[in-house]
């Protein structure tokens, strides 16, 4: 059996490109240290096991314990870091109502504003560490879920589309204990073309 080495993903932007929403310092620690540690740990943990040659998402769906925790955090962070685009002060309206993802959001939440409010509320009220997710079920219906620790919606048969990390290391350098402010600011850098691609693929 060939061993599949899990590698650190490449960022699709420069480390300072998300400022002032996410600082270069946060990227250096969150991506460069936290995510790298999960990658290093997982490669050690799966060596010589049934998970060694599995794709990352399959490891998350089938594993438990330390392997699940590290694989889940890698998958979560991969989706998280690749959903952003560089911040520009000239950004205008977020909504492009021609994109299927926006049509689905309005269909399933009533309005884009209602979606934002529910997503931020679930991110703010998740106790402890974890993630808040926008996902699609097998019929394309959108749902927002809270996932503690390394949880990912794939374990529930859902397709993850968009996520916000509410572990303190994701925001404490820039926002200290103001989790709600951090969540609210992230909408400025979401790459909705990428979220739409995930939804429609």
Question: Which residue segments constitute the domains of the chain, with CATH numbers given?
Answer: 24-81 (1.10.287.990), 100-200 (3.55.40.20)
Q: Nearest-CA neighbor of 13 among 191, 199, 200?
A: 191
**Residue appearing with tokens 């994109």:** 99
Residue 55: its pLDDT value, please? 94
DSSP 165-181: E-SGGGTHHHHTT-HHH
Structure tokens, 104:
């689905």
Which tens digits make up the pLDDT trace of 105-120?
999 999 999 999 999 9
pLDDT higher than threshold 60 for residue 101: yes
In the three-class reduction of DSSP (H, G, I as helix; E, B as strand; rest coil), residue 102 is classed as: helix
Q: What is the CA radius of gyration of the chain?
A: 17
Which tens digits make up the pLDDT trace of 4-51?
689 999 999 999 999 999 999 999 999 999 999 999 999 999 999 999
Averaged pLDDT of the chain: 94
Q: Are 99 and 198 in contact (CB under 8 A)?
A: no
E strand map for the chain:
130-136, 142-148, 159-165
């Amino acid at each position: 059996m060939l061993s599949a080495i899990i590698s650190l993903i490449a960022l699709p932007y420069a480390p300072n490109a998300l400022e002032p929403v996410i600082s270069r310092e946060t990227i250096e620690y969150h991506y460069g240290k936290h995510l790298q540690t999960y990658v290093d740990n997982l490669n050690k943990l799966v060596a010589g096991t049934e998970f060694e040659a599995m794709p990352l998402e399959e490891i998350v769906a089938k594993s438990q314990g330390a392997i699940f925790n590290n694989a889940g955090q890698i998958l979560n962070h991969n989706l998280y870091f690749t959903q952003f685009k560089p911040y520009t002060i000239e950004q205008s309206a977020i909504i492009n109502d021609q994109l299927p993802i926006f049509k689905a959001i309005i269909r399933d939440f009533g309005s884009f504003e209602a979606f934002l409010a529910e997503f931020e509320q679930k991110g703010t009220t998740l106790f402890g560490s974890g993630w808040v997710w926008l996902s699609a079920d097998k019929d394309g219906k959108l749902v927002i879920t809270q996932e503690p620790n390394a949880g990912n919606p794939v374990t529930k048969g859902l397709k993850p589309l968009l996520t916000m990390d509410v572990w303190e290391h994701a925001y404490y350098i820039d926002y200290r204990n103001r989790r709600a402010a951090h969540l609210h600011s992230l909408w400025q850098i979401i790459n909705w073309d990428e979220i739409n691609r995930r939804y429609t693929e």
